[in-house]
Amino acid sequence: MGGVPDLAQRFPVKAFIDHGSNTETGPRAEELERNYQAVLATGARRLTVKPGDVLPLKDIRVEVVTARGERIPKPLPAGGQRNALCGEEARKAEDLGENGKSIGVVITFGAFRFANLGDLTWNYELDIACPEHFIGPVDLYLTTHHGLDLSGPKAIVHGMRPRVAVMNNGARKGGGRFAWRIVSTSPGLEDLWQLHYSIQGGTEFNVSAERIANLEEQCEGHGLEVKVEKSGAFQVVNLRNGHRKHYPR
């Protein structure tokens, strides 16, 4: 929410999707809410969603699987498998902040499936992975919470068996060694790509430079682009160096 005013100044935003009012309190939370409401007052549409909702987009199915601390009542059609990893990982301290209230979505385009769980934290992820996995296999996974060790248990990540994962980390934010190891050892993973070189990761916990969009902390903000086909095939492009890889169905 904090970046909404700057984002809205850079390009037109016609709609914002959220889970409702901010659940956090205090001066900072109130400031963020005021700024958000000010942007909404300029005419942008607001769509408040709950688990189980499907966003009205043509040719693309966007299913809300988590929102405001709740999850979908039953697994998606591709999910429902008993998860053998449940019980291996202990729950952590309860997260009462906004991260645990994140909207998590599964996006389907033809045969292609993509999971983005926002900043969802550990316990909430376990809730959609155990005792059965509510999401099931995906082609692409955007790491939860920037790859912080507060998120991304094996039960959720390995249970999705992503073909490719993108770690949306910063040079000093996310890209945790523990989280990196879980993602990189996921069964069936063909490649992991990173938004930034992780300083804490060093040489052992970073992918090869060709799959990292930004190598220096003071960067130019290069991105990773994913091009998807209805067949389920897709391509990831590093906009820094033009390196690309095609993943056939």
Mean pLDDT, residues 136-163: 98
Q: How confident is the model at residue 120 (pLDDT cuts 50, 70, 90)?
A: very high
pLDDT at position 218 over 90: yes
Task: Encode pLDDT of 8-20 as tens digits.
Answer: 999 899 999 999 9
Residue 153: what pLDDT?
98
Q: How confident is the model at residue 56 (pLDDT cuts 50, 70, 90)?
A: confident
- CB count in 10 Å sphere of residue 97: 12
Task: Encode pLDDT of 63-83 as tens digits.
Answer: 999 999 999 999 999 999 999
Backbone angles phi, psi at 246, to 5 degrees: -100, 135
pLDDT at position 1 over 80: no
Task: Encode pLDDT of 171-212 as tens digits.
Answer: 999 999 999 999 999 999 999 999 999 999 999 999 999 999
Task: Encode pLDDT of 232-248 as tens digits.
Answer: 999 999 999 999 999 99
Q: How confident is the model at residue 2 (pLDDT cuts 50, 70, 90)?
A: confident
77 vs 75: CA distance, rounded Å: 6
Q: Across the chain, what does the average pLDDT equal?
A: 96
3 vs 124: CA distance, rounded Å: 24
113 vs 140: CA distance, rounded Å: 7
Mean pLDDT, residues 80-102: 96
- pLDDT more than 90, % of the chain: 98
Indicate the domain borders of the chain: 1-48, 51-247
H/E/C letters for each residue in the chain? CCCHHHHHHHCCCCEEEECCCCCCCCHHHHHHHHHHHHHHCCCCEEEECCCCCEECCCCCEEEEEEECCEECCCCCCCCCEECCCCCCCCCCCCCCCCHHHCCEEEEEECCEEEEECCCCCHHHHHHCCCCEECCCCCCEEECHHHHCCCCCCHHHHHHHCCCEEEECCCCCCCCCHHHHHHHHCCCCCCEEEEEECCCCCCCCCCCCHHHEEECCCCCCCCCEEEEECCCCCEEEEECCCCCEEEECC
